[in-house]
Amino acid sequence: MDKGCLYVVAMPIGNRDDITERAKQILASVDVIAAEDTRHSRPLLQFLGIDTPLLALHEHNEQKRMGSLIEQLTAGGTIALISDAGTPLISDPGFPLVRACQQADIRVVPIPGPSALVCALSAAGLPTDRFLFEGFPARTGAARREQFTRLKDAEMTLIFYESSHRISDCLTDMAQVFGEERPAVVARELTKLHETILSYPLGQLVEVLSKDPHQQKGEFVVLVAGAVRNEDAIEPETQRILSLLLEELPTKQAAVLASRITGAKKNRLYQVALELAEKE
Ligand code: SAM
């Protein structure tokens, strides 16, 4: 018997009209829809006129349910995986099931559509050539600041999901670690009635949200501009080598040798060597 197929179907993140034609066709034709929360998905499916049977698949039962789902698929069944909003597996359940399907040689077909992170990035006005999606930041202050500290020097746009409970504290920690001047964007309630995209340096964003409680309500994507590389910066280890060489050699020779050892630019090292000599 031919094996079945798992469809990973993206759903709207607010505006119901964002469902794709292909998603509707697949949802109407599969044997069963595995939904993160059946109570949440039922009204939307009813609105779309889809009466395919639903089963719940969330992080608490995913491991337990997996065996029977894989059996069903192996026997030729078709299943659509959906989450409450956006693309399944993106800060949502489904990864263990997709991996189990791949391992069991069951076809997995993505049905693309909305995802809050791409939606926010497309309108934020921050560089899109490279970005890092971090999902939800840690929930507590110390762990969150530690996480941001690890990302401080990353040179690509950083993208986070955040809830209304923590948005203010999260932005305050970002301003503290990334600096108040770092450009950032808060994308709130995307595709919904109160959609707002605020673009300010982090320090100002903290102020704007604290002055207007409405801006703290709803669902958020926070985007932070990547660090700007300082072309003139010298690695601490390079500086250490240069300083050691300067103790034994004339400035120019020390700079040439330090450049050969570290790969740093000779002219820049000569400049630093002169500055070091001046300080002494
Ligand atoms: N799978 C979803 C996706 O593809 O975007 C994300 C699910 S995650 C559990 C939910 C988080 O996504 C929210 O807390 C919020 O950070 C973000 N999010 C979802 N919908 C959003 C929207 N309409 N506007 C802004 N952020 C949204």
Specify the fold of 5-114.
Answer: Cobalt-precorrin-4 Transmethylase; domain 1 (3.40.1010)
Residue position matching structure tokens 């993140």: 13
Closest atom of ligand 1 to 187 CA is 25
For residue 170, report the distance from its CA to the centre of ligand 1, in Å. Answer: 16
Q: Which helix (H) or strand (E) holds 255?
A: helix 251-262
What is the token pair recorded at 50? 């889809």
Closest atom of ligand 1 to 188 CA is 25
Residue to probe by mutation, ligand 1, list 57, 115, 119, 220, most atoms within 8 Å of CB? 220
CA end-to-end distance (rounded Å), the chain: 82
Pick the CATH number of 117-224 from 3.30.950.10, 3.40.50.300, 3.20.20.70, 3.40.1160.10: 3.30.950.10
For residue 115, report the distance from its CA to the centre of ligand 1, in Å. Answer: 7
Residue to probe by mutation, ligand 1, list 58, 161, 166, 193, most atoms within 8 Å of CB? 161
What are phi and psi for residue 274, nearest 5 degrees? -65, -40
In the DSSP assignment, the letter for residue 215 is G
What are phi and psi for residue 156, nearest 5 degrees? -115, 160
pTM: 0.87
Closest atom of ligand 1 to 90 CA is 1
pLDDT tens sequence across 16-35: 999 999 999 999 999 999 99
What is the token pair recorded at 121? 């990035």
pLDDT tens sequence across 156-212: 999 999 999 999 999 999 999 999 999 999 999 999 999 999 999 999 999 999 999
